[in-house]
Structure 1
Amino acid sequence: MKVIMESSDFRLPATVVSIGMFDGVHRGHTKVLRQLRSRGLQLGVSTAVVTFDPHPRAVVRPDARPMLLSSLDDRMQLLAATGAVDHCLVLRFDQSRSEQPADEFVLTMLVHQLGMRELIVGENFACGRGRQGTVSYLATLGQQLGFAVAPVRLDAVPGSQDSVHSSSTEARRLIQLGDLAGASAMLQRPHEMTGTITRAVPASRRVIEAELPTAMCAPAAADYVGAVKRSDTGSPWIPALLRVRGDRLSSRRMVHLVADDEVEADLGDLLRMRFVDRARHDPAASLHEISAA
């Protein structure tokens, strides 16, 4: 997958396009991306995803900005791992972008620069100023500009109550409630975060404290079973018990973790943490089960 940071210098001859934040690249996103790849193959053209940084709500409603499921780098890796995306265009979302009419955005960015032949989006998609560019609006616009719009139906998560649809909002809600098993079903993988090591016990390298970034979606304060590794290495995951705690006097969120083996990491290093599920009443037994899996 080729990542293109916003620029007016690139042109693609013909593509099938999807647009969105793709935060977490969850089950619903992968359904859209499978359709994207399928239509690209049928039409004999490449596929392109358009995404944004920062999150649009951080600009439009900064007081209600969501905690992110994935960093921009993680998002790129997750999108590439689907095998469905040939080009990913990352657009800076600012005040000017938020005020851009849907027609202008579609014509200048999608049609002229990406050569869009077809737009594949979820059935609840909308873009442009005031979310003017709904699926029906874009379908009418496409008749004028020569592209088709294919909305993808949102399916319920298997096993979920009340037919909950996959969404980044729902995944955040589950994580913040501490329902990591439910979030994993929606994300199709365990939730992961990168934190900065603030304390390490040198005698064993198994007891570590790390601070989580405030912009990212962290689990509720509780004990979890999972795994850890240094984020800048290809080292294997080490099973660990992760105790998430909040600082009452600030927005800091800390993780006190006990690893099943030594972690080759020092003060200030970035530590990758994988949250699998809440720990049982006996955390040691929970950790043993993860180690044996």
Structure 2
Amino acid sequence: MKVLTDTCDLRLPAAAVSIGMFDGVHRGHKKVLRQLRERGRQLGVPTAVVTFDPHPRAVVRPDACPMLLSSVDDRMQLLAATGAVDHCLVLHFNHARSQQPADDFVLTTLMNQLGMRELIVGENFACGRGRQGTVAYLSALARRLGFSVTGVPLDRVPGTHDAVRSSSTEARRLIQSGDLAGASAVLQRPHEMTGTITRALAASRLVVEAALGRGMCAPAAADYVGAVRYRDDASPWIPAQLRIRDDRSTGRRMVRLVADGALKAARGDELRIRFVDRAWTGRPLSHPERSAWA
């Protein structure tokens, strides 16, 4: 997958296109991307995804901007891993772009730049100033401009009693309520975050405290089971006990981590942390170094 920004002089003669934040690249996103790849094959054209940084709501309604499931780098890795995307265009979202009419966005970016032949998006998609560009609006525009629009129905998570929808909003709700198993069903993978070590103890076990990224979706304050490894490291995951807490002095979400394994850690190191499930026993994390955190 080739990653490009709005500063790149990208011109595609033709493409099948999808647009969205793709935050977390969950099972619903993957359903859209599978259809994107299939239409690209049928049309004999490459596929292109358009996404944004920062989240549009951080500009339009900062007070209502959601916590993110994945950083931009993580999003690129997750999109690439689907095998459905040939080109990913990351557009900087600012006030000027928030005021761009849907028609102008379609003409300048999707058609003139990407050569869009077909647009494949979730059925609740909307773009442009005031979210004018709904699937119905874009379908009418498509008839005038000569492209096609496919609105993909929102996926449902199988096996759930209340037919949980596969959406970033639902994944965030489950993570923030501490239901990591439920979130994994929506994401089709365990939820992962990057943490920067702020305290480390020299011991036979990995015992550290790490600050989680600002603006990232973290589990509720509780005890969890999961795994850890160095960021951008391909080594095996090391099982870990994880305790989430809020640091009132800094306003950061912190994780205290205990793992058995040969993983040296020092202050400032970045760890990749995987949350698998809640530690439902209710017992405190047991390790001989616990008094050092007092």
TM-score by length of 1: 0.94
- Judged with a 3 Å threshold, the aligned counterparts in structure 2 of structure 1 residues 280 and 269 are, in CA distance, closer, same or farther, namely same
The match for 2:133 is 133
The match for 2:218 is 218
Indicate the SS of the match to 2:162.
Answer: helix
Residue 253 of structure 1: how far off its partner (Å): 1.1
Contact kept, 8 Å, 1:16 with 1:116, in 2: the verdict is yes
The match for 2:279 is 279
Structure 2 counterpart of 1:220, one-letter code: A
Question: What CA deviation, in whole Å up to 9, does each residue of 1:150-189 have, x standing for no partner?
Answer: 1111121112232221110110010000000000000000
Residue 274 of structure 1: how far off its partner (Å): 0.1
- Judged with a 3 Å threshold, the aligned counterparts in structure 2 of structure 1 residues 51 and 238 are, in CA distance, closer, same or farther, namely same
Q: Are residues 1:95 and 2:95 paired?
A: yes
Residue 95 of structure 1: how far off its partner (Å): 0.3
Q: Which moved more, 1:182-191 or 1:150-159?
A: 150-159
Contact kept, 8 Å, 2:14 with 2:45, in 1: the verdict is yes
Residue 9 of structure 1: how far off its partner (Å): 1.8
Indicate the SS of the match to 1:163.
Answer: coil
RMSD: 1.6
The match for 1:235 is 235
The match for 1:257 is 257
Question: What CA deviation, in whole Å up to 9, does each residue of 1:203-253 have, x standing for no partner?
Answer: 335111111112100000000000000103222110000011112344211
Contact kept, 8 Å, 1:230 with 1:264, in 2: the verdict is no
Contact kept, 8 Å, 1:241 with 1:283, in 2: the verdict is no
User: Matched residues in 2 for 1:159 and 1:34: separation?
Assistant: 22
The match for 2:201 is 201
The match for 2:39 is 39
User: Matched residues in 1 for 2:266 and 2:232: separation?
Assistant: 12
Aligned residues: 286
The match for 1:180 is 180
Q: Which moved more, 1:94-103 or 1:3-12?
A: 3-12
User: Matched residues in 1 for 2:120 and 2:283: separation?
Assistant: 45
User: Matched residues in 2 for 1:131 and 1:21: separation?
Assistant: 14
Residue 132 of structure 1: how far off its partner (Å): 0.3
Structure 2 counterpart of 1:148, one-letter code: S
Contact kept, 8 Å, 1:205 with 1:264, in 2: the verdict is no
Structure 2 counterpart of 1:129, one-letter code: R
Contact kept, 8 Å, 2:16 with 2:45, in 1: the verdict is yes
The match for 2:22 is 22
> What does residue range 134-149 of structure 1 map to in structure 2 within 5 Å?
134-149=134-149
Structure 2 counterpart of 1:276, one-letter code: V
Indicate the SS of the match to 1:113.
Answer: coil
The match for 1:115 is 115
Q: Are residues 1:159 and 2:168 paired?
A: no
Structure 1: unaligned runs, 5 residues or longer = 287-293
Question: What CA deviation, in whole Å up to 9, does each residue of 1:22-78 have, x standing for no partner?
Answer: 000001000000000000000100000000000000000011111100000000000
Contact kept, 8 Å, 1:52 with 1:91, in 2: the verdict is yes
Question: What CA deviation, in whole Å up to 9, does each residue of 1:101-141 have, x standing for no partner?
Answer: 00000000000000000000011111000000010110111
Structure 1 counterpart of 2:144, one-letter code: Q
Indicate the SS of the match to 1:68.
Answer: coil
User: Matched residues in 2 for 1:204 and 1:142: separation?
Assistant: 63
The match for 1:13 is 13
User: Matched residues in 2 for 1:208 and 1:250: separation?
Assistant: 18
Contact kept, 8 Å, 2:27 with 2:155, in 1: the verdict is no
User: Matched residues in 1 for 2:265 and 2:232: separation?
Assistant: 10
- Judged with a 3 Å threshold, the aligned counterparts in structure 2 of structure 1 residues 284 and 41 are, in CA distance, closer, same or farther, namely farther
Contact kept, 8 Å, 1:138 with 1:149, in 2: the verdict is yes
